[in-house]
Amino acid sequence: MKKQTQIVIARQKAVSVLILYTVTLMIIFLGIFFTAFSLINGINISVLNSRIPGVIFGLLVLYLGIRYYLSVSKLKEELSKSTYEFSWKNFKKNNKN
């Protein structure tokens, strides 16, 4: 019974990581798309009475997508360890483990 539970948990982890990768890749794609679209169409966005090129926002979204991709990769490595278990302590800023 314990082995079946472990298999179900491993499958749930794999599905969760796959969903996170999918969302991250969508963010990266949208960053690339918005950068190209802004570059082609000359999009400018008003921010506090200033005109900011849309390319900057597209590159920002692309950067965040790449950063999230690396974070998901790190999470996947952590989840693959057999000693991993869920704890609310993992979400504190000053983790002293």
State residue 45 phi and psi, 5-degree precision. Answer: -120, 135
> Would 31 be classed as within a structural domain?
yes
Coil, strand, or helix at residue 60?
Answer: helix
Domain count, the chain: 1
Of 36, 28, 29, 16, the residue nearest 67 (C-alpha): 28
pLDDT in tens, 21-64: 999 999 999 999 999 999 999 888 888 889 989 899 999 999 99
> Would 96 be classed as within a structural domain?
no
Task: Compute the mean pLDDT over every residue in the chain, rounded to the nearest whole number.
Answer: 82
Q: Could you list the residue range(s) of the whole structural domain that residue 39 is in?
A: 2-91
> Would 97 be classed as within a structural domain?
no
